[in-house]
Structure 1
């Protein structure tokens, strides 16, 4: 009888541990994983100010990618946002992201006639977002 009881307890433990993971499954949801709504949050913080480290990093990255002088990259806008998840508004289909709110910023840059959007937040540096999904 102890073997049966052990198996039942083990089965219940596995089931209990699996419940928190059930929300991660697709489950046929009609929402596309690449959709990441953004909630803009006004703040007095200077973390996303035009001279901030994130903005300087985004300008340097874009200048390097385009092979231009950083002085040729114009900062068009810097907005503080709260990203809905770890994709920071730039989800890649098939990738998984933390499902927590992430404070960050949307940095819009211009080089020549083209505009580029960088998304920053959490502990990750700003990254070029070629297909924003907010």
Structure 2
């Protein structure tokens, strides 16, 4: 995987990866940082069962940015198949903050697919939140 200037090498043949590392280091002037622990807001941990991905820090950053640090958790934030109606009230003062929050939530769905429906509903109001 490659993202801007970060490269993750993975596979099931450790000999090939070991051979490829010096080659890529010479071609791209890069260094080996060892086993993957954190990448693009995703924490990676290993066990005998396999790899586990977590976005705990990323989630806490979202909560803090939204000013909800003292909020109580809930089981499911929105009812399934809920019909929304148009609001007559004023639009949000800062639509960019709403768009940024929804964008961050879209990325959070990578490890939290249970939030996909709620984020989908929120993303329908990006034009005029």
TM-score if structure 2 supplies the norm length? Answer: 0.20
User: Relative contact order (C-alpha < 8 Å, sep 6+): which is higher?
Assistant: 1
Structure ranking higher in helix proportion? 2
Q: Which has the larger radius of gyration?
A: 1
TM-score normalised per structure 1: 0.20
- Greater percentage in strand: 1
